[in-house]
Chains A and B, each alone.
Chain A
Amino acid sequence: MHASKTLEKTLVASPERKLEADADLAVVRQVQAGDVAAFDRLIVKYRERVLGIVYNMTSNREDAADLAQDAFIKAFQSIHRFQGQASFFTWLYRIAVNSTLSHLRKNRLRSFFSLESVREDDPVSKELIDALTDKTGSGRDTFVRELQEKLNDAMQKLSINHRTVVTLFEIDGLGHQEIAEVMDCSVGTVRSRLHYAKQLLQAELQPYLLK
């Protein structure tokens, strides 16, 4: 009863998230009952999103792959402790974010970036790139690469917490309440970090913003 109330409070803004959480909870109960193979469904469902978060926080695809795998393994090892007070998705995100934050704090001085290529089969990204440049061919690829590096530099200038908030909100599309639960802070803190981070990004990316 208490778990469902918490879940409702968490996901009150998105009914589809509630359905998703209920479905996840059913799978989690199967895993807790001993059906280890059921966990594969959760991996397949969330691997891209978990990898996306970790990748955008670290800007390193090798580290991101390792950290995402570790997050899934940690979740698998601790699944008997999951009681359904939050959604599985929030719980898994929390594990991934905490592992990544710990990794970033440990390797603060090591900054090696390896970026994935932008896939232009996504209509949103294609439209955006079209809006930014009229070049075609290699010129367009160079521009996209340059923009990508500039974005990455701007993100790396943010603090770890600010970067995490921006990643979760702008890139992964989580709500303020969900980010607050994932990062274990208040909604006000999330909003303030988001506001500050956007101001910094705006200053850094000014040449690419069309007025």
Chain B
Amino acid sequence: MKRDAEQKVTVEDLLRLKRAERPPDEFWARFESEIRAKQLSAIVSKRPWWDRFSGVFAVARRHQLSFGAAAAIALAFAGVRFVGGYSEIISAPKVATVRPAAPAPAAPVRVAAAIERTARPQEEAELALREAAPQPRPAVVAATVSHMTQVPAAIAADAASRSLFAGGIAITLADFREPATSYPVHSAFGTDSDFEPAIGPARQQASDPLAQVDPAEERRARLLAPALPAYASGSPRAVAGDWMRDRDTSDDRMYESMDKEPNDHMLVGFRF
């Protein structure tokens, strides 16, 4: 090997040697015939059906940033719409149109209540808002005697204007639940003597059903009880009240469904 100080061979020179590695001339004749055969078979062979979409994919690949951003925005919009709609459903349930019972007056009155089944959406929204607003906890109703509770005069008048039978058949769906009794919180080490006076008023309030019972109604119910052998075991007035409520509720549903039918060709209308 020559080792001339003036001559320098670098890596680039050695790699340039590889350029001289070339096939003989006869190789190209074979190469050309082979490539021509392959080209012909490529022309003849049918392209697969999915190859038609390659152009679309090529466009999508070229504009992948734009498509990606558009897809992200669409997904975000759809997500917000879905979550927003879901939260509306959660926050304003349409079934929550029952008005809470008003505070019981000092003198017991015959109870009447109404359901606003045919309320317009606006009215329902108002009711929902009223329901959501903090309201004073209603007084405990003597529900053990009758499920009928007193309805405020405005509601009764509204119900009467809706139906001729409102005064008679209006059924209360007032909150039958007893208000949550707020028991005072005691420490785990409190004594019974501390607990009993604290719990006393709440317990008294919940267990005084006769405070609002009409004596005349009570007497009449007692007299009618033998005449109703089928319900002899239960309170006759309560049973009658349940039956009336069920009947009128089903009637209301039927009228409501017929009244709300948006059929212009239907000439027969039911209005009560």
Please name all residues of chain B whose beta carbon is closer than 8 Å to the beta carbon of A117 when the two chains form the complex.
21
Please name all residues of chain B whose beta carbon is closer than 8 Å to the beta carbon of A115 when the two chains form the complex.
21
Instruction: Determine whether the beta carbon of A202 is less than 8 Å from that of B17.
Output: no
Q: Which of B6-14, B80-88, B190-198 contacts A (4 or more CB under 8 A)?
A: B6-14
Please name all residues of chain B whose beta carbon is closer than 8 Å to the beta carbon of A119 when the two chains form the complex.
20-22
Does chain A have a CB within 8 A of B53?
no
Instruction: Determine whether the beta carbon of A124 is less than 8 Å from that of B9.
Output: no
User: Within the complex, which residue of A77, A124, A210 is in contact with B3, where a contact is CB–CB below 8 Å?
Assistant: A210
The residue among B4, B14, B34 with the most chain A CB atoms within 10 A of its own CB is B14
Please name all residues of chain A whose beta carbon is closer than 8 Å to the beta carbon of B2 when the two chains form the complex.
131-134, 210
Does chain A have a CB within 8 A of B69?
no
Instruction: Determine whether the beta carbon of A128 is less than 8 Å from that of B19.
Output: no
Q: Which of A159-211 contact B (CB under 8 A)?
A: 166, 170-171, 198, 201-202, 205, 208-211
Instruction: Determine whether the beta carbon of A147 is less than 8 Å from that of B17.
Output: yes
Please name all residues of chain B whose beta carbon is closer than 8 Å to the beta carbon of A129 when the two chains form the complex.
17
Instruction: Determine whether the beta carbon of A166 is less than 8 Å from that of B15.
Output: yes
A200 to B9, CA, bound (A): 16
Please name all residues of chain A whose beta carbon is closer than 8 Å to the beta carbon of B27 when the two chains form the complex.
65
Does chain B have a CB within 8 A of A93?
no
A70 to B37, CA, bound (A): 12
The residue among A68, A115, A116, A120 with the most chain B CB atoms within 10 A of its own CB is A116
A166 to B11, CA, bound (A): 11
Please name all residues of chain B whose beta carbon is closer than 8 Å to the beta carbon of A48 when the two chains form the complex.
22
Q: A43-B35, A69-B31, A210-B4 are in contact. Are A118 and B9 (CB under 8 A)?
A: no
**A73-109 interface code vs B (CB 8 A; 1 in, 0 out):** 1001100010000000000000000000000000000
Please name all residues of chain B whose beta carbon is closer than 8 Å to the beta carbon of A128 when the two chains form the complex.
9, 13-14, 16-17
The residue among A56, A61, A131, A134 with the most chain B CB atoms within 10 A of its own CB is A131
Please name all residues of chain A whose beta carbon is closer than 8 Å to the beta carbon of B4 when the two chains form the complex.
131, 210
A51 to B39, CA, bound (A): 17
B15 → A minimal CB distance (Å)? 4
A166 → B minimal CB distance (Å)? 7
Q: Which of A9-27 contact B (CB under 8 A)?
A: none
Please name all residues of chain A whose beta carbon is closer than 8 Å to the beta carbon of B117 when the two chains form the complex.
none
Q: A125-B20, A210-B9 are in contact. Are A201 and B15 (CB under 8 A)?
A: yes
A210 → B minimal CB distance (Å)? 5
Q: Which of B1-58 contact A (CB under 8 A)?
A: 1-4, 7-23, 27-28, 31-32, 34-35, 38-39, 42-43, 54-55, 58
Q: Can you give 10 contacting A-B residue pairs, CB < 8 Å?
A: A47-B28, A47-B31, A73-B38, A81-B58, A118-B20, A124-B16, A125-B16, A125-B17, A128-B16, A210-B2
- Residues of B at the A interface (CB closer than 8 Å) are 1-4, 7-23, 27-28, 31-32, 34-35, 38-39, 42-43, 54-55, 58
Q: Which 7 residue pairs are nearest across A and B when measured between Cβ atoms?
A: A125-B20, A170-B15, A116-B21, A122-B20, A210-B9, A118-B20, A69-B35
- Residues of A at the B interface (CB closer than 8 Å) are 36, 39, 43, 47-48, 51-52, 55-56, 61, 65, 68-70, 72-73, 76-77, 81, 115-120, 122, 124-125, 128-129, 131-134, 147-148, 151, 166, 170-171, 198, 201-202, 205, 208-211
New contact pairs (13) apart from A125-B16, A128-B13, A128-B14, CB-CB < 8 Å: A36-B39, A43-B32, A47-B31, A69-B31, A76-B39, A116-B21, A131-B7, A132-B1, A166-B15, A170-B16, A171-B18, A201-B11, A208-B9
